[in-house]
Amino acid sequence: MRQFLLGRLSSLKVATWNVNSVKVRLPLLLNWLDEARPDVICLQEIKCLTADFPILEVRGRGYYAEIVGQKSYNGVAILSKEPARDVITTLPGDDGDNHARYLEATIGELRIASIYLPNGNPVESDKFTYKLAWVARLNAHTAELLKAERPFVLAGDYNVIPEPEDVYDPLAWRDDALFRTETRRAFRALVNLGLTDAFRALHAEPHRYSFWDYQAGRWQRDEGLRIDHLLLSPQAADRLVAAEIDKAPRGKDKASDHTPVWCELH
DNA sequence: ATGGTTGCCTCGCAA
């Protein structure tokens, strides 16, 4: 299997990054592609129409691009050194859902999804209902993916804080849509289908974050959330050799409020 | 401190 994952390469680096506008973040994105050289990177919140994605610039760095954009909000993409195959652009289960939040494709022998799960705030609104329904759809679709018994990675901004150790102040976030009991229960049900949280599988230490709010000096005080996750199928988890959160891009000028998370499969 | 910041075909909304 190994030699077929990405042709001549012996390992596969898979990353996820909510860039919060690909237009504004393009210099930082291109810089990170040059430095980190992921084989695949899933992007969220590109915040542009598909036709406006800077496809020539990423081609110049050696990446193919699959894009699901929409005006102003949301939007996901998958950049990869090898071209994507068998692309789907919506999460099955609700034909009326027109948010650009899901993209799934095959790269080499790896199935990969770029996920931008709904935020869900405020909790007393239909946005929270939509969030929980979206996770339920993802759960149902994942159950189908698992039947193939192949390596896959569900990568993205889940807008879910899995555990108290994944947030700087659990009490303050208790009733937020990212940390509500219903949200965490739905996320656990997804993971309990048999998925592995790549970062947590290799890092026991608490308070490792992938997002810091722009407001109130959260970055300067390292008061963040771990909400960007790489969930691996059993066949992918068997090949997991490394996982990291790269904090460096969050500290740069014109940073996204999220920073890249990546894992390596042998 | 019910504050604070960023990005969007911006003057309100989403995060």
A125: in domain: yes
Q: Which residue is nearest to nucleotide B7 (CA to C1')?
A: A21
Q: Tell me the CATH number at A169.
A: 3.60.10.10
Which bases of strand B sit closer than 7 A to a protein CB?
A: 1, 3-9, 14-15
Average the pLDDT over A136-146 and give the result: 98
Q: Per-residue pLDDT averaged across A227-238, rounded?
A: 98
The answer as to whether A197 is a domain residue is yes
Position A181 in a domain = yes
* Average pLDDT for A190-206: 98
Q: How far is the CA of A135 from the C1' of B6 (A)?
A: 27
Residue A150 domain-assigned (yes or no):
yes
Asked whether the predicted pLDDT for residue A80 surpasses 60, the reply is yes
**Which percentage of chain A shows pLDDT scores above 70?**
97
In this complex, the answer to whether residue A23 has its CB under 7 A from any atom of chain B, a nucleic strand, is yes
A130 falls within a domain: yes
* Residue A54 belongs to some domain of the structure: no
**Residue A57 CB neighbours (<10 A):** 16
**C1’ B2 / CA A151, Å:** 46
Range of the domain at A170: 117-243
Question: What integer is the mean pLDDT of A65-83?
Answer: 98
The pLDDT, as a whole number, for residue A25 is: 98
pLDDT of A10: 73
Domain count across chain A: 1
Mean pLDDT taken over chain A? 96
CA closest to C1' of B10 belongs to: A72
pTM higher than 0.75: yes
Residues 234-253 of A with CB under 7 A from strand B: none
pLDDT of res. A4: 53
Question: Sorting pLDDT into bands at 50, 70 and 90, what band is A8?
Answer: very low
Query: Is A144 within the bounds of a domain?
Result: yes
